[in-house]
Amino acid sequence: MKLKISRYAPLVLGAMVMLFPLWWMTTISLETAARAGAATAGGKVTLWPSDPQWSNYTDALKEFGSTPWVGFLDALANSIVVTVLVVIGQVLSCSLVGYAFARIRFRGSKVLFGLMLTTMMLPPQVTMIPLFLFFRSLGWVDTLLPLVVPAFFGNAFYIFMFRQFFASVPEALIEAARIDGCGHFRIWWSLMLPMCKPVIAICAIFTFLFTWNDFMGPLIYLHSEESSTLAVALNSFRNQYGGLDDVHLLMAASIVTMIPCVLLFFSAQKHFVEGLGKGAVKG
């Protein structure tokens, strides 16, 4: 019993520290405008809303853009479209390329693999401007394409992860499939993908979280209100209300935006922990 307390006490303490901002955010999202403003301006911490304003949430979603409700729904739809397409693109392209690096012997494969890994060292800020110019020359600015299309061209880290997994699949399995009449694409699709569900889960979950919360990409490429995603729309929200005057609505909108990530985390917790462990071992 003592052992349990000594083990759980630090965990509970840590969790409280980590969860505090979320709790405070929720509290403020339920305050009146005046009290929320005072709390954030004066730094006075209230831990419980004295008079919960549930209407803050409907107000927040309604006031999201310049047209009531439409702004929110537009942004939500854009976020969903971008995130779903990026997740699909990332999983398909990374697993396909990972398969090729793991299982097809071709001239220069080692060099190409090394080259690909070096792109991981490249900070995204370095490629930001050239990429913007490139996509502008294609006429893709203010469309969702610059956010979605690159995902179909893979990502070094996930390719590496898939490659590690595919390299560990016994050769005989692939040979059996070859004798059964499969080419590379069929082996990838019918054999490798179903076998690497844990890797797919990690790739999909992290890509989802990153894309859903991505601020920089949409900010650079999406200029009009109709094309923006939730993460960017939140930002314009604040400007529109002049500084932090309506911080309670911003908090409410932020919490709504966060819901999918929280749900995803809880439903995929098992994969998260398992997958991170796996990556650590296979490295």
Examine residue 108 and tell whether it contacts other proteins (CB under 8 A): no
Contact criterion met (CB below 8 Å) for 257 and 230? yes
Q: Which is nearer to other proteins, 114 or 181 (CB)?
A: 181
Residues 6 or more apart from 164 whose CB is under 8 A from it? 102, 282, 283
Which of 114, 181, 242, 283 forms a contact with other proteins (CB under 8 A)? 181
Which of 182, 201, 220, 261 forms a contact with other proteins (CB under 8 A)? 182
Examine residue 177 and tell whether it contacts other proteins (CB under 8 A): yes
The pair of three-digit structure tokens given for residue 257, joined into one six-digit string: 């935006």
The pair of three-digit structure tokens given for residue 192, joined into one six-digit string: 């490798």
Examine residue 136 and tell whether it contacts other proteins (CB under 8 A): no
Q: Among 7-15, 187-195, 206-214, 218-226, which window interacts with other proteins (CB under 8 A)?
A: 187-195
Examine residue 194 and tell whether it contacts other proteins (CB under 8 A): yes
The pair of three-digit structure tokens given for residue 104, joined into one six-digit string: 């097809």
Q: What is the rounded CA–CA span in Å between residue 168 and residue 158?
A: 16
Examine residue 191 and tell whether it contacts other proteins (CB under 8 A): yes
CB of 87 to other proteins, least distance (A): 21
| Burial (CB count <10 Å: 0-12, 13-18, 19+), residue 159 | buried
* DSSP conformation class of 84: H
Q: Among 83-91, 188-196, 220-228, 232-240, which window interacts with other proteins (CB under 8 A)?
A: 188-196
Q: What track of x and - describes contact with other proteins for positions 145 through 174 (by CB under 8 A)?
A: -------------------------x-xx-
Angstrom CA distances, 125 to 142, 152, 231, stand at 20, 20, 19
Q: What is the rounded CA–CA span in Å between residue 253 and residue 7?
A: 37
Q: Which is nearer to other proteins, 180 or 282 (CB)?
A: 180
Angstrom CA distances, 69 to 58, 61, 63, 203, stand at 9, 6, 7, 33
Backbone angles phi, psi at 46, to 5 degrees: -105, 135
Examine residue 180 and tell whether it contacts other proteins (CB under 8 A): yes
Which of 184, 186, 238, 278 forms a contact with other proteins (CB under 8 A)? 186
* DSSP conformation class of 123: -
CA dihedral 134, 135, 136, 138 (to 10 degrees): 100
Q: What is the rounded CA–CA span in Å between residue 57 and residue 213?
A: 20
Q: Which is nearer to other proteins, 187 or 234 (CB)?
A: 187
Which of 77, 84, 133, 176 forms a contact with other proteins (CB under 8 A)? 176
Interface with other proteins (CB under 8 A), residue total 16
Examine residue 201 and tell whether it contacts other proteins (CB under 8 A): no
**Kind and range of the H or E element at 234?**
helix 230-240
Examine residue 114 and tell whether it contacts other proteins (CB under 8 A): no
Q: Which is nearer to other proteins, 191 or 255 (CB)?
A: 191
CB of 173 to other proteins, least distance (A): 5
Examine residue 178 and tell whether it contacts other proteins (CB under 8 A): yes
Q: Which residues would be at the binding site for other proteins (CB under 8 A)?
A: 170, 172-173, 175-182, 186, 190-191, 194-195
